[in-house]
Structure 1
Amino acid sequence: MIDHLRQMAIFARVVDLGSFRAAAKDVGLAPSRISETVSELEEFLGVTLLYRSTRKIALTSEGRIFYNRVVDMLRSAEAGLNDLNALSLEPVGALRVSIPAFMASGPISNAIGEFARRHPNVAFSVAYTDNRVGLIEDGFDLNIRVGWLDDSSMMSRKLGQGQRTLVAGTRYAEQRALPRRPSDMEDWDWIRFKNRPDTTKFTTLDGQTESVTGNAQIEADSIEAVYHFATQNLGATTLPSFLADRGVEAGHFVRLLPDWHLRPLGIFAVWSDTSRRESLTLMFVRFLAAQDLC
Protein backbone atom coordinates (compact mmCIF):
# COMPACT_ATOMS: atom_id res chain seq x y z
CA MET A 1 0.00 0.00 0.00
CA ILE A 2 2.86 2.39 0.79
CA ASP A 3 4.23 2.02 -2.76
CA HIS A 4 0.80 2.82 -4.20
CA LEU A 5 0.51 5.94 -2.02
CA ARG A 6 3.83 7.13 -3.41
CA GLN A 7 2.65 6.42 -6.96
CA MET A 8 -0.53 8.39 -6.31
CA ALA A 9 1.43 11.38 -5.00
CA ILE A 10 3.68 11.35 -8.09
CA PHE A 11 0.66 11.05 -10.38
CA ALA A 12 -0.85 14.16 -8.72
CA ARG A 13 2.37 16.14 -9.21
CA VAL A 14 2.41 15.23 -12.89
CA VAL A 15 -1.13 16.56 -13.25
CA ASP A 16 -0.44 19.66 -11.12
CA LEU A 17 2.72 20.60 -13.05
CA GLY A 18 1.51 19.55 -16.47
CA SER A 19 4.36 17.29 -17.55
CA PHE A 20 6.53 14.36 -16.51
CA ARG A 21 9.64 16.53 -16.84
CA ALA A 22 8.34 19.23 -14.49
CA ALA A 23 7.23 16.63 -11.94
CA ALA A 24 10.62 14.92 -12.19
CA LYS A 25 12.39 18.20 -11.46
CA ASP A 26 10.06 18.83 -8.51
CA VAL A 27 10.55 15.46 -6.81
CA GLY A 28 14.17 14.86 -7.86
CA LEU A 29 13.72 11.82 -10.09
CA ALA A 30 14.42 11.12 -13.76
CA PRO A 31 11.50 11.84 -16.16
CA SER A 32 11.62 8.22 -17.32
CA ARG A 33 11.13 7.03 -13.73
CA ILE A 34 8.17 9.37 -13.27
CA SER A 35 6.55 7.98 -16.42
CA GLU A 36 7.20 4.41 -15.28
CA THR A 37 5.65 5.15 -11.89
CA VAL A 38 2.42 6.43 -13.44
CA SER A 39 2.34 3.43 -15.79
CA GLU A 40 2.74 1.06 -12.83
CA LEU A 41 -0.16 2.79 -11.08
CA GLU A 42 -2.31 2.47 -14.21
CA GLU A 43 -1.43 -1.23 -14.46
CA PHE A 44 -2.40 -1.79 -10.82
CA LEU A 45 -5.72 0.03 -11.28
CA GLY A 46 -6.43 -1.50 -14.65
CA VAL A 47 -7.33 1.86 -16.24
CA THR A 48 -5.62 4.59 -18.26
CA LEU A 49 -5.24 7.76 -16.19
CA LEU A 50 -3.44 10.02 -18.67
CA TYR A 51 -3.51 10.59 -22.41
CA ARG A 52 0.08 11.13 -23.50
CA SER A 53 1.42 12.96 -26.54
CA THR A 54 4.81 14.39 -27.44
CA ARG A 55 3.63 17.87 -26.45
CA LYS A 56 1.25 17.48 -23.51
CA ILE A 57 -0.68 15.22 -21.19
CA ALA A 58 -4.39 15.17 -20.42
CA LEU A 59 -6.55 13.35 -17.91
CA THR A 60 -8.86 10.60 -19.06
CA SER A 61 -12.36 10.54 -17.56
CA GLU A 62 -11.19 7.85 -15.09
CA GLY A 63 -8.06 9.88 -14.43
CA ARG A 64 -10.12 12.96 -13.60
CA ILE A 65 -12.19 11.06 -11.04
CA PHE A 66 -9.13 9.44 -9.53
CA TYR A 67 -7.14 12.70 -9.45
CA ASN A 68 -9.86 14.40 -7.38
CA ARG A 69 -9.72 11.55 -4.87
CA VAL A 70 -5.94 11.66 -4.73
CA VAL A 71 -5.94 15.44 -4.18
CA ASP A 72 -8.37 15.02 -1.27
CA MET A 73 -6.11 12.37 0.22
CA LEU A 74 -2.97 14.48 -0.18
CA ARG A 75 -4.64 17.55 1.28
CA SER A 76 -5.74 15.55 4.31
CA ALA A 77 -2.22 14.22 4.76
CA GLU A 78 -0.72 17.68 4.31
CA ALA A 79 -3.18 19.16 6.80
CA GLY A 80 -2.14 16.53 9.33
CA LEU A 81 1.54 17.32 8.79
CA ASN A 82 0.82 21.04 9.01
CA ASP A 83 -1.03 20.56 12.30
CA LEU A 84 1.87 18.58 13.74
CA ASN A 85 4.41 21.07 12.41
CA ALA A 86 2.47 23.92 13.99
CA LEU A 87 2.57 22.11 17.35
CA SER A 88 6.22 21.21 17.00
CA LEU A 89 8.84 23.30 18.74
CA GLU A 90 11.01 23.06 15.64
CA PRO A 91 9.77 23.35 12.03
CA VAL A 92 11.19 20.74 9.67
CA GLY A 93 11.42 20.74 5.89
CA ALA A 94 13.00 22.26 2.80
CA LEU A 95 12.14 25.44 0.92
CA ARG A 96 13.08 26.43 -2.62
CA VAL A 97 13.10 30.23 -2.89
CA SER A 98 13.88 32.63 -5.75
CA ILE A 99 15.10 36.16 -5.06
CA PRO A 100 16.16 39.00 -7.38
CA ALA A 101 19.92 38.81 -7.87
CA PHE A 102 20.48 42.42 -6.84
CA MET A 103 19.18 41.49 -3.36
CA ALA A 104 21.86 38.83 -2.89
CA SER A 105 23.72 40.84 -0.24
CA GLY A 106 20.67 42.65 1.15
CA PRO A 107 18.11 42.28 3.95
CA ILE A 108 16.23 39.34 2.38
CA SER A 109 19.37 37.19 2.38
CA ASN A 110 20.10 38.31 5.94
CA ALA A 111 16.58 37.20 6.91
CA ILE A 112 17.12 33.75 5.35
CA GLY A 113 20.32 33.39 7.33
CA GLU A 114 18.60 34.37 10.56
CA PHE A 115 15.68 31.99 9.94
CA ALA A 116 18.15 29.16 9.22
CA ARG A 117 20.02 29.90 12.47
CA ARG A 118 16.80 29.81 14.47
CA HIS A 119 15.50 26.67 12.77
CA PRO A 120 18.39 24.31 11.96
CA ASN A 121 16.03 21.60 10.63
CA VAL A 122 14.86 23.82 7.76
CA ALA A 123 16.95 23.63 4.58
CA PHE A 124 16.97 26.35 1.90
CA SER A 125 17.76 26.17 -1.79
CA VAL A 126 17.94 29.77 -3.04
CA ALA A 127 18.06 30.88 -6.69
CA TYR A 128 19.23 34.46 -7.32
CA THR A 129 18.08 35.83 -10.67
CA ASP A 130 16.79 39.15 -11.97
CA ASN A 131 14.72 37.29 -14.58
CA ARG A 132 11.13 36.32 -13.80
CA VAL A 133 10.74 32.68 -12.75
CA GLY A 134 7.59 30.67 -12.22
CA LEU A 135 6.47 28.98 -9.05
CA ILE A 136 4.89 25.74 -10.19
CA GLU A 137 6.65 25.39 -13.53
CA ASP A 138 10.11 26.04 -12.04
CA GLY A 139 9.50 24.14 -8.83
CA PHE A 140 9.74 26.95 -6.27
CA ASP A 141 7.87 27.17 -2.98
CA LEU A 142 8.26 30.95 -2.78
CA ASN A 143 9.24 33.82 -5.07
CA ILE A 144 10.37 37.23 -3.87
CA ARG A 145 9.30 39.70 -6.56
CA VAL A 146 10.02 43.39 -6.93
CA GLY A 147 7.49 45.45 -8.87
CA TRP A 148 3.70 45.37 -8.97
CA LEU A 149 1.94 42.04 -9.25
CA ASP A 150 -0.22 41.07 -12.20
CA ASP A 151 -0.87 37.41 -11.35
CA SER A 152 -3.98 37.14 -9.15
CA SER A 153 -3.94 33.31 -9.19
CA MET A 154 -1.13 33.16 -6.62
CA MET A 155 -1.07 33.99 -2.94
CA SER A 156 0.97 37.06 -2.07
CA ARG A 157 1.96 39.33 0.78
CA LYS A 158 3.61 42.71 0.53
CA LEU A 159 6.82 42.79 2.54
CA GLY A 160 7.75 46.41 1.92
CA GLN A 161 8.71 48.69 -0.90
CA GLY A 162 11.98 49.69 -2.46
CA GLN A 163 12.95 53.24 -3.36
CA ARG A 164 14.71 54.08 -6.64
CA THR A 165 17.18 56.84 -7.44
CA LEU A 166 18.21 58.46 -10.73
CA VAL A 167 21.99 58.64 -11.12
CA ALA A 168 24.66 59.05 -13.78
CA GLY A 169 28.36 58.34 -13.86
CA THR A 170 30.24 61.28 -12.32
CA ARG A 171 32.39 62.04 -15.36
CA TYR A 172 29.49 61.57 -17.74
CA ALA A 173 27.34 64.07 -15.78
CA GLU A 174 30.17 66.61 -15.68
CA GLN A 175 30.09 66.77 -19.48
CA ARG A 176 26.37 67.68 -19.55
CA ALA A 177 24.27 70.64 -18.50
CA LEU A 178 22.62 69.98 -15.15
CA PRO A 179 19.01 68.88 -15.88
CA ARG A 180 16.20 70.77 -14.19
CA ARG A 181 13.38 68.47 -15.27
CA PRO A 182 13.11 65.00 -16.86
CA SER A 183 12.53 66.37 -20.39
CA ASP A 184 16.01 67.91 -20.22
CA MET A 185 17.41 64.36 -20.34
CA GLU A 186 15.85 63.15 -23.60
CA ASP A 187 19.19 63.53 -25.38
CA TRP A 188 21.15 61.78 -22.62
CA ASP A 189 22.46 58.23 -22.99
CA TRP A 190 20.61 55.75 -20.80
CA ILE A 191 21.49 52.35 -19.41
CA ARG A 192 18.32 50.29 -19.09
CA PHE A 193 17.30 47.35 -16.98
CA LYS A 194 15.59 44.96 -19.39
CA ASN A 195 12.75 44.05 -17.01
CA ARG A 196 11.50 47.62 -16.60
CA PRO A 197 9.61 49.84 -19.10
CA ASP A 198 11.62 51.95 -21.54
CA THR A 199 9.86 55.12 -20.38
CA THR A 200 10.60 56.42 -16.89
CA LYS A 201 7.91 58.43 -15.11
CA PHE A 202 8.73 61.11 -12.52
CA THR A 203 6.52 63.13 -10.14
CA THR A 204 7.02 66.08 -7.81
CA LEU A 205 5.56 66.63 -4.37
CA ASP A 206 3.12 69.19 -5.79
CA GLY A 207 1.74 66.65 -8.29
CA GLN A 208 3.60 67.46 -11.51
CA THR A 209 4.33 64.43 -13.70
CA GLU A 210 6.75 64.03 -16.56
CA SER A 211 8.22 61.07 -18.45
CA VAL A 212 11.46 60.52 -20.31
CA THR A 213 12.52 57.77 -22.69
CA GLY A 214 15.92 58.84 -23.98
CA ASN A 215 18.36 56.78 -25.99
CA ALA A 216 19.51 53.47 -24.52
CA GLN A 217 22.75 52.22 -26.04
CA ILE A 218 23.04 49.46 -23.43
CA GLU A 219 20.32 47.20 -22.01
CA ALA A 220 21.00 44.45 -19.47
CA ASP A 221 18.95 41.86 -17.59
CA SER A 222 21.04 42.25 -14.43
CA ILE A 223 20.82 45.19 -12.01
CA GLU A 224 24.44 44.60 -10.97
CA ALA A 225 25.46 44.87 -14.64
CA VAL A 226 23.50 48.12 -15.00
CA TYR A 227 25.34 49.42 -11.93
CA HIS A 228 28.69 48.40 -13.44
CA PHE A 229 27.99 50.07 -16.80
CA ALA A 230 26.98 53.26 -14.99
CA THR A 231 30.32 53.30 -13.14
CA GLN A 232 31.96 53.29 -16.60
CA ASN A 233 30.32 56.67 -17.32
CA LEU A 234 28.12 55.35 -20.14
CA GLY A 235 25.02 57.31 -19.17
CA ALA A 236 22.16 57.75 -16.71
CA THR A 237 20.07 55.04 -15.10
CA THR A 238 17.67 54.31 -12.25
CA LEU A 239 18.89 52.00 -9.50
CA PRO A 240 17.55 50.68 -6.20
CA SER A 241 18.40 53.41 -3.73
CA PHE A 242 20.74 51.27 -1.64
CA LEU A 243 22.86 50.58 -4.74
CA ALA A 244 22.70 54.19 -5.88
CA ASP A 245 23.84 55.33 -2.42
CA ARG A 246 26.75 52.90 -2.58
CA GLY A 247 27.88 54.37 -5.89
CA VAL A 248 27.48 57.97 -4.71
CA GLU A 249 29.50 57.30 -1.55
CA ALA A 250 32.25 55.71 -3.66
CA GLY A 251 32.33 58.74 -5.96
CA HIS A 252 31.12 56.78 -8.99
CA PHE A 253 27.73 58.53 -9.34
CA VAL A 254 25.93 61.81 -8.90
CA ARG A 255 22.24 62.02 -8.07
CA LEU A 256 20.05 63.79 -10.60
CA LEU A 257 16.69 65.62 -10.39
CA PRO A 258 16.46 65.59 -6.58
CA ASP A 259 13.06 67.33 -6.67
CA TRP A 260 11.56 64.66 -8.94
CA HIS A 261 10.68 61.24 -7.59
CA LEU A 262 10.32 57.75 -9.03
CA ARG A 263 7.48 55.46 -8.03
CA PRO A 264 8.63 53.00 -5.36
CA LEU A 265 8.49 49.31 -6.27
CA GLY A 266 6.67 46.84 -4.05
CA ILE A 267 8.53 43.88 -2.56
CA PHE A 268 6.25 40.83 -2.47
CA ALA A 269 6.36 37.24 -1.32
CA VAL A 270 4.44 35.09 -3.82
CA TRP A 271 3.49 31.44 -3.37
CA SER A 272 0.97 28.91 -4.60
CA ASP A 273 -2.05 27.94 -2.53
CA THR A 274 -1.41 24.36 -3.65
CA SER A 275 2.04 24.30 -2.05
CA ARG A 276 2.92 20.96 -0.47
CA ARG A 277 4.86 22.87 2.17
CA GLU A 278 2.12 25.32 3.07
CA SER A 279 2.76 25.64 6.81
CA LEU A 280 6.53 26.05 6.42
CA THR A 281 6.11 28.55 3.58
CA LEU A 282 3.62 30.61 5.56
CA MET A 283 5.85 30.52 8.64
CA PHE A 284 8.74 31.89 6.59
CA VAL A 285 6.56 34.56 4.93
CA ARG A 286 5.36 35.75 8.33
CA PHE A 287 8.96 35.89 9.50
CA LEU A 288 9.93 37.99 6.47
CA ALA A 289 6.98 40.33 7.01
CA ALA A 290 8.24 41.05 10.53
CA GLN A 291 11.69 42.11 9.28
CA ASP A 292 12.82 45.54 8.10
CA LEU A 293 13.49 44.78 4.44
CA CYS A 294 13.59 48.33 3.04
Structure 2
Amino acid sequence: MINRLRQMAIFAKTIDHGSFRGAARELHLSPSVVSHHVSQLEEYLGVALIYRSTRKLTLTNEGQRLLTATRNMLDAVEGELQDLSATAGEPSGELRITLPSVLSLSHITDQIAAFSRAYPRITLTVDFSDTRRALIDDGFDLAIRMGAISKNSATSRTLFEVRRVLVASKDYLATRTVDNDPSALVDWEWLALAPVQNVPLSFKNKDGETKKIKPTLHMFTNDAQALHRLAHAGAGLAIVPEFLVAAGIDNGTMEIVLPEWELQSISVFAEWPANAPRHGLIHLMLNALSKAKF
Protein backbone atom coordinates (compact mmCIF):
# COMPACT_ATOMS: atom_id res chain seq x y z
CA MET A 1 0.00 0.00 0.00
CA ILE A 2 2.85 2.42 0.79
CA ASN A 3 4.26 1.91 -2.70
CA ARG A 4 0.85 2.60 -4.27
CA LEU A 5 0.45 5.84 -2.31
CA ARG A 6 3.92 6.92 -3.39
CA GLN A 7 3.11 6.11 -7.03
CA MET A 8 -0.11 8.12 -6.79
CA ALA A 9 1.74 11.13 -5.40
CA ILE A 10 4.34 10.91 -8.19
CA PHE A 11 1.54 10.59 -10.76
CA ALA A 12 -0.15 13.77 -9.45
CA LYS A 13 3.13 15.66 -9.44
CA THR A 14 3.76 14.59 -13.05
CA ILE A 15 0.41 16.07 -14.13
CA ASP A 16 1.05 19.28 -12.16
CA HIS A 17 4.30 19.82 -14.05
CA GLY A 18 3.07 18.51 -17.39
CA SER A 19 6.11 16.27 -17.87
CA PHE A 20 8.14 13.51 -16.27
CA ARG A 21 11.19 15.76 -16.35
CA GLY A 22 9.47 18.57 -14.43
CA ALA A 23 8.20 16.20 -11.76
CA ALA A 24 11.59 14.53 -11.53
CA ARG A 25 13.29 17.88 -10.95
CA GLU A 26 11.06 18.72 -7.98
CA LEU A 27 11.12 15.19 -6.53
CA HIS A 28 14.90 14.85 -6.97
CA LEU A 29 14.45 11.70 -9.04
CA SER A 30 15.42 10.83 -12.59
CA PRO A 31 12.75 11.13 -15.32
CA SER A 32 13.05 7.41 -15.99
CA VAL A 33 12.26 6.61 -12.33
CA VAL A 34 9.22 8.89 -12.40
CA SER A 35 8.01 7.27 -15.63
CA HIS A 36 8.59 3.82 -14.12
CA HIS A 37 6.42 4.60 -11.06
CA VAL A 38 3.56 5.83 -13.25
CA SER A 39 3.85 2.75 -15.49
CA GLN A 40 3.81 0.49 -12.43
CA LEU A 41 0.64 2.21 -11.21
CA GLU A 42 -1.00 1.76 -14.61
CA GLU A 43 0.01 -1.92 -14.66
CA TYR A 44 -1.43 -2.45 -11.17
CA LEU A 45 -4.73 -0.78 -12.07
CA GLY A 46 -4.93 -2.35 -15.51
CA VAL A 47 -5.77 0.95 -17.23
CA ALA A 48 -3.91 3.71 -19.03
CA LEU A 49 -3.71 6.90 -16.97
CA ILE A 50 -1.76 9.10 -19.38
CA TYR A 51 -1.49 9.35 -23.14
CA ARG A 52 2.16 10.10 -23.89
CA SER A 53 3.46 12.06 -26.86
CA THR A 54 6.71 13.85 -27.68
CA ARG A 55 5.10 17.21 -26.84
CA LYS A 56 2.81 16.66 -23.88
CA LEU A 57 1.04 14.31 -21.51
CA THR A 58 -2.75 13.99 -21.70
CA LEU A 59 -4.96 12.42 -19.04
CA THR A 60 -7.29 9.57 -19.91
CA ASN A 61 -10.74 9.48 -18.28
CA GLU A 62 -9.42 7.00 -15.74
CA GLY A 63 -6.41 9.23 -15.15
CA GLN A 64 -8.67 12.21 -14.44
CA ARG A 65 -10.66 10.20 -11.90
CA LEU A 66 -7.52 9.03 -10.15
CA LEU A 67 -6.01 12.53 -10.19
CA THR A 68 -9.08 13.97 -8.45
CA ALA A 69 -9.01 11.27 -5.80
CA THR A 70 -5.26 11.63 -5.33
CA ARG A 71 -5.41 15.40 -4.89
CA ASN A 72 -8.21 15.05 -2.34
CA MET A 73 -6.06 12.56 -0.44
CA LEU A 74 -2.94 14.73 -0.60
CA ASP A 75 -4.86 17.85 0.45
CA ALA A 76 -6.31 16.04 3.45
CA VAL A 77 -2.90 14.76 4.55
CA GLU A 78 -1.25 18.12 3.98
CA GLY A 79 -4.00 19.87 5.93
CA GLU A 80 -3.43 17.61 8.90
CA LEU A 81 0.32 18.17 8.73
CA GLN A 82 -0.20 21.94 8.59
CA ASP A 83 -2.53 21.81 11.60
CA LEU A 84 0.00 19.77 13.56
CA SER A 85 2.79 22.10 12.50
CA ALA A 86 0.78 25.14 13.60
CA THR A 87 0.64 23.80 17.14
CA ALA A 88 4.44 23.71 17.17
CA GLY A 89 4.98 27.25 15.91
CA GLU A 90 3.92 30.05 13.60
CA PRO A 91 3.80 29.71 9.80
CA SER A 92 7.18 30.47 8.29
CA GLY A 93 8.88 30.50 4.92
CA GLU A 94 9.10 32.73 1.85
CA LEU A 95 6.31 34.09 -0.32
CA ARG A 96 6.89 35.97 -3.59
CA ILE A 97 4.02 38.12 -4.93
CA THR A 98 3.74 40.22 -8.10
CA LEU A 99 1.19 43.03 -8.60
CA PRO A 100 0.55 45.85 -11.10
CA SER A 101 2.37 48.98 -9.93
CA VAL A 102 -0.85 51.02 -9.77
CA LEU A 103 -2.06 48.81 -6.90
CA SER A 104 0.73 50.16 -4.70
CA LEU A 105 -1.64 53.09 -4.06
CA SER A 106 -4.66 50.89 -3.28
CA HIS A 107 -5.86 49.32 -0.04
CA ILE A 108 -4.35 45.96 -0.99
CA THR A 109 -0.98 47.33 0.14
CA ASP A 110 -2.45 47.85 3.62
CA GLN A 111 -3.70 44.26 3.65
CA ILE A 112 -0.29 42.90 2.69
CA ALA A 113 1.26 44.96 5.49
CA ALA A 114 -1.32 43.58 7.94
CA PHE A 115 -0.48 40.04 6.79
CA SER A 116 3.20 40.71 7.40
CA ARG A 117 2.47 41.93 10.93
CA ALA A 118 0.30 38.87 11.64
CA TYR A 119 2.94 36.42 10.36
CA PRO A 120 6.38 37.88 11.13
CA ARG A 121 8.18 34.63 10.30
CA ILE A 122 7.05 34.73 6.67
CA THR A 123 9.46 36.62 4.42
CA LEU A 124 7.59 38.53 1.71
CA THR A 125 8.93 39.70 -1.64
CA VAL A 126 6.35 42.08 -3.17
CA ASP A 127 7.00 43.04 -6.79
CA PHE A 128 5.01 46.06 -8.01
CA SER A 129 5.66 46.16 -11.73
CA ASP A 130 4.16 47.55 -14.93
CA THR A 131 5.65 44.55 -16.71
CA ARG A 132 3.34 41.53 -16.50
CA ARG A 133 5.38 38.89 -14.70
CA ALA A 134 5.07 35.21 -15.53
CA LEU A 135 3.93 33.28 -12.50
CA ILE A 136 6.11 30.19 -12.88
CA ASP A 137 8.92 31.33 -15.18
CA ASP A 138 9.67 34.43 -13.09
CA GLY A 139 9.55 32.48 -9.84
CA PHE A 140 6.44 33.92 -8.18
CA ASP A 141 4.11 32.10 -5.84
CA LEU A 142 1.14 34.43 -6.28
CA ALA A 143 0.17 36.95 -8.96
CA ILE A 144 -2.38 39.71 -8.50
CA ARG A 145 -3.83 40.74 -11.86
CA MET A 146 -6.27 43.36 -13.14
CA GLY A 147 -8.77 42.71 -15.93
CA ALA A 148 -12.20 43.61 -17.26
CA ILE A 149 -13.64 40.16 -16.49
CA SER A 150 -13.85 38.49 -13.08
CA LYS A 151 -11.88 35.27 -12.78
CA ASN A 152 -12.76 32.36 -10.53
CA SER A 153 -11.40 28.88 -11.10
CA ALA A 154 -9.29 26.23 -9.39
CA THR A 155 -6.25 28.50 -9.74
CA SER A 156 -7.75 32.00 -9.66
CA ARG A 157 -10.01 34.07 -7.42
CA THR A 158 -11.57 37.51 -7.74
CA LEU A 159 -10.57 39.70 -4.79
CA PHE A 160 -12.38 42.98 -5.40
CA GLU A 161 -13.67 45.39 -8.04
CA VAL A 162 -12.10 48.76 -8.88
CA ARG A 163 -14.39 51.55 -10.03
CA ARG A 164 -13.06 53.52 -13.00
CA VAL A 165 -13.86 57.18 -13.54
CA LEU A 166 -13.38 59.66 -16.35
CA VAL A 167 -11.48 62.65 -14.96
CA ALA A 168 -9.75 65.86 -15.94
CA SER A 169 -8.15 68.76 -14.11
CA LYS A 170 -10.30 71.65 -12.97
CA ASP A 171 -8.21 74.02 -15.10
CA TYR A 172 -8.70 71.90 -18.23
CA LEU A 173 -12.48 71.77 -17.74
CA ALA A 174 -12.67 75.53 -17.11
CA THR A 175 -12.07 76.13 -20.83
CA ARG A 176 -14.80 73.76 -22.05
CA THR A 177 -18.51 73.14 -21.77
CA VAL A 178 -19.41 69.63 -20.60
CA ASP A 179 -22.66 68.21 -22.00
CA ASN A 180 -24.25 65.22 -20.33
CA ASP A 181 -23.44 63.06 -23.34
CA PRO A 182 -20.33 60.89 -23.84
CA SER A 183 -20.52 61.39 -27.62
CA ALA A 184 -19.88 65.12 -27.17
CA LEU A 185 -16.40 64.39 -25.80
CA VAL A 186 -15.07 62.37 -28.75
CA ASP A 187 -12.92 65.20 -30.13
CA TRP A 188 -11.46 66.31 -26.79
CA GLU A 189 -7.83 65.53 -25.86
CA TRP A 190 -7.92 61.95 -24.59
CA LEU A 191 -5.09 60.27 -22.71
CA ALA A 192 -4.91 56.48 -22.74
CA LEU A 193 -2.94 53.49 -21.57
CA ALA A 194 -1.01 52.04 -24.51
CA PRO A 195 -2.20 48.41 -23.99
CA VAL A 196 -5.88 49.41 -24.32
CA GLN A 197 -5.66 52.25 -26.81
CA ASN A 198 -7.95 50.67 -29.43
CA VAL A 199 -10.72 49.52 -27.10
CA PRO A 200 -14.08 51.34 -27.53
CA LEU A 201 -15.49 52.92 -24.36
CA SER A 202 -18.91 51.94 -23.07
CA PHE A 203 -20.82 54.26 -20.73
CA LYS A 204 -24.04 53.38 -18.88
CA ASN A 205 -26.33 55.70 -16.93
CA LYS A 206 -28.70 54.97 -14.04
CA ASP A 207 -31.61 54.48 -16.47
CA GLY A 208 -29.75 51.62 -18.17
CA GLU A 209 -29.00 53.56 -21.33
CA THR A 210 -25.66 52.57 -22.90
CA LYS A 211 -23.47 54.64 -25.20
CA LYS A 212 -20.30 53.45 -26.90
CA ILE A 213 -17.70 55.84 -28.23
CA LYS A 214 -14.26 55.58 -29.77
CA PRO A 215 -12.58 58.91 -29.02
CA THR A 216 -9.64 60.44 -30.83
CA LEU A 217 -6.61 59.67 -28.67
CA HIS A 218 -4.16 62.48 -28.05
CA MET A 219 -1.47 60.86 -25.88
CA PHE A 220 -0.44 57.35 -24.82
CA THR A 221 1.45 56.07 -21.79
CA ASN A 222 2.09 52.59 -20.39
CA ASP A 223 1.75 53.61 -16.74
CA ALA A 224 -1.57 54.24 -14.95
CA GLN A 225 0.02 56.53 -12.35
CA ALA A 226 1.62 58.61 -15.12
CA LEU A 227 -1.77 58.75 -16.86
CA HIS A 228 -3.26 60.24 -13.71
CA ARG A 229 -0.44 62.76 -13.30
CA LEU A 230 -0.78 63.89 -16.92
CA ALA A 231 -4.50 64.45 -16.47
CA HIS A 232 -3.80 66.30 -13.21
CA ALA A 233 -1.40 68.56 -15.12
CA GLY A 234 -4.12 69.51 -17.59
CA ALA A 235 -3.17 67.37 -20.60
CA GLY A 236 -6.70 66.08 -21.18
CA LEU A 237 -9.27 63.46 -20.22
CA ALA A 238 -8.23 60.15 -18.66
CA ILE A 239 -9.93 57.03 -17.33
CA VAL A 240 -8.27 55.95 -14.08
CA PRO A 241 -9.06 53.85 -11.00
CA GLU A 242 -11.10 55.91 -8.56
CA PHE A 243 -8.61 55.41 -5.73
CA LEU A 244 -5.91 57.19 -7.76
CA VAL A 245 -7.88 60.40 -8.10
CA ALA A 246 -9.66 60.50 -4.73
CA ALA A 247 -7.24 63.04 -3.22
CA GLY A 248 -7.49 65.34 -6.25
CA ILE A 249 -11.30 65.22 -6.11
CA ASP A 250 -11.24 66.04 -2.40
CA ASN A 251 -8.94 69.06 -2.79
CA GLY A 252 -10.75 70.34 -5.88
CA THR A 253 -7.92 70.09 -8.40
CA MET A 254 -9.59 67.22 -10.30
CA GLU A 255 -13.17 66.56 -11.34
CA ILE A 256 -15.12 63.52 -12.46
CA VAL A 257 -16.45 64.14 -15.97
CA LEU A 258 -19.97 62.84 -16.72
CA PRO A 259 -20.63 61.72 -13.12
CA GLU A 260 -24.04 60.35 -14.13
CA TRP A 261 -22.44 57.85 -16.52
CA GLU A 262 -20.65 54.73 -15.28
CA LEU A 263 -17.77 52.82 -16.86
CA GLN A 264 -17.24 49.09 -16.46
CA SER A 265 -15.29 48.29 -13.32
CA ILE A 266 -12.00 46.38 -13.36
CA SER A 267 -11.63 43.12 -11.48
CA VAL A 268 -8.59 42.52 -9.31
CA PHE A 269 -7.97 38.78 -9.08
CA ALA A 270 -5.31 36.40 -7.84
CA GLU A 271 -3.64 33.56 -9.76
CA TRP A 272 -1.49 30.78 -8.33
CA PRO A 273 0.14 27.51 -9.52
CA ALA A 274 -2.06 24.44 -9.86
CA ASN A 275 0.14 22.49 -7.48
CA ALA A 276 0.00 25.07 -4.66
CA PRO A 277 -0.66 23.29 -1.33
CA ARG A 278 -4.19 24.02 -0.17
CA HIS A 279 -3.01 24.72 3.36
CA GLY A 280 0.29 26.42 2.46
CA LEU A 281 1.46 30.02 2.55
CA ILE A 282 -0.17 30.94 -0.77
CA HIS A 283 -3.64 30.08 0.47
CA LEU A 284 -2.89 31.70 3.82
CA MET A 285 -2.30 34.99 1.95
CA LEU A 286 -5.31 34.39 -0.33
CA ASN A 287 -7.61 33.89 2.63
CA ALA A 288 -6.31 37.07 4.25
CA LEU A 289 -6.92 39.11 1.08
CA SER A 290 -10.32 37.50 0.42
CA LYS A 291 -11.61 38.35 3.91
CA ALA A 292 -10.46 41.96 3.67
CA LYS A 293 -12.97 44.70 2.89
CA PHE A 294 -11.69 46.90 0.08
Query: Shared topology, TM-score over 0.5?
Result: yes
Shift in alpha-carbon separation, 1:181–1:57, aligned structure 2, 3 A: same
Contact 1:141 1:277 in 2 (8 A): no
Change (3 A) 1:85 1:104: farther
Structure 2 residues not aligned, in runs of 5+? 1-11, 35-54, 58-66
1:163 equivalenced with 2:163 (yes/no): yes
Return the alpha-carbon distance in structure 1 between the equivalents of residues 262 and 152 of structure 2. Answer: 28
Q: What is the CA–CA distance in structure 2 between the aligned matches of 1:266 and 1:155, rounded to whole Å? A: 16
SS of 1:97's partner is strand
Residues 1:255 and 2:256 aligned together: yes
What is aligned with 2:282? 281
What does residue range 31-180 of structure 1 map to in structure 2 within 5 Å? 81-149=81-149, 155-180=155-180
Q: CA deviation at 1:57?
A: 10
Q: Give the alignment's TM-score, normalised by structure 2.
A: 0.71
Amino acid aligned to 1:165: V
1:238 equivalent to 2:239? Answer: yes
State how far apart, in whole Å, the 1-side matches of 2:13 and 2:135 are: 13
Identity of aligned residues (%): 30
After superposition, the C-alpha distances for 1:126-165 in whole angstroms (9 at most, x for unaligned) are 1102343332222211112222458777522222211111
> 1:199 matched to which residue of 2?
200
How far the C-alpha of 1:88 sits from its partner, in A, is 4.8
Report SS of the residue matched to 1:288.
Answer: helix
**CA RMSD of the aligned region, Å?**
4.4
Contact 2:187 2:216 in 1 (8 A): yes
SS at match of 2:280: helix
CA contact (8 A) 1:159 1:289 kept: yes
Measured in 1, the distance between the counterparts of 2:291 and 2:150 equals 24
| CA distance in 1: counterparts of 2:179 and 2:30, whole angstroms | 65
Give the 3 Å change call, closer, same or farther, for CA 76–163 of structure 1 in structure 2. Answer: closer
Contact 1:192/1:198 (8 A) holds in 2: no
Amino acid at match of 2:157: R
Decide whether the 8 Å contact of 2:150 with 2:269 is kept in 1.
no
CA contact (8 A) 2:149 2:266 kept: no
In 2, Cα distance between the equivalents of 1:79 and 1:111?
24
Letter matched to residue 218 of structure 1: M
Distance 1:277 1:140 in 2: 17
Consecutive unaligned residues of structure 1, counting only runs of 5 or more, are: 1-11, 24-33, 43-55, 59-67
Once the two structures are overlaid, the 10-residue window that deviates more, 265-274 or 177-186, is 265-274
Match status 1:217 vs 2:218: yes
Structure 1-normalised TM-score? 0.71
Letter in 2 for 1:201: S
